[in-house]
Amino acid sequence: MEVKALIIDDEDSIQGILAAFFNRYVSDKNLQSDIVCMGDPVQSLFELTTHGDEYQVILLDVRIPRLSGDEIYSSLEQVNPGILGHIIFVTGYPEDLYERFPGKEFNILQKPFRYNSFAEKLDCLFGN
């Protein structure tokens, strides 16, 4: 089985780490991966509104220049709410989300992170 992930982060180094961790995770589970990395939040929002249903995992940075991760989330609430449960926010500032969306629960991978915490977040997402 193939698991498709979209990584949205403006830092190439973070994209690389997330992609490597995701590949390790799916390999450990005897799965195949298909990873798309995007650094432009506007293109990312377009991708999610048009093809978001194709992704089982969306790793979304919160603090991205021009269009933040929480703004992308807010837009998706309106146009493609079915994929919101696939989002794992990757941030060093989880309070940004709780201030903008009081009372909401989010799947948050807090920076800095290690592989074990990354894998735990995916296990929660996939119900493992």
**What pLDDT digit, counting tens, does each position of 16-32 carry?**
999 999 999 999 999 99
Sheet holding 87-91, edge to edge: 32-38, 2-8, 57-61, 87-91, 108-110
Q: What is the pTM of this model?
A: 0.95
User: Which CATH number goes with the domain that contains 28?
Assistant: 3.40.50.2300
Predicted local confidence at residue 118, as pLDDT: 97
Other C-beta atoms lying within 10 Å of the C-beta of residue 123: 12
Cβ neighbours for 27, distance < 8 A, ≥ 6 positions apart: 33
Predicted local confidence at residue 64, as pLDDT: 93
Domain boundaries, position 29? 2-126
pLDDT at 128 over 80: no
User: In whole angstroms, what is the distance from residue 67 CA to residue 21 CA?
Assistant: 25
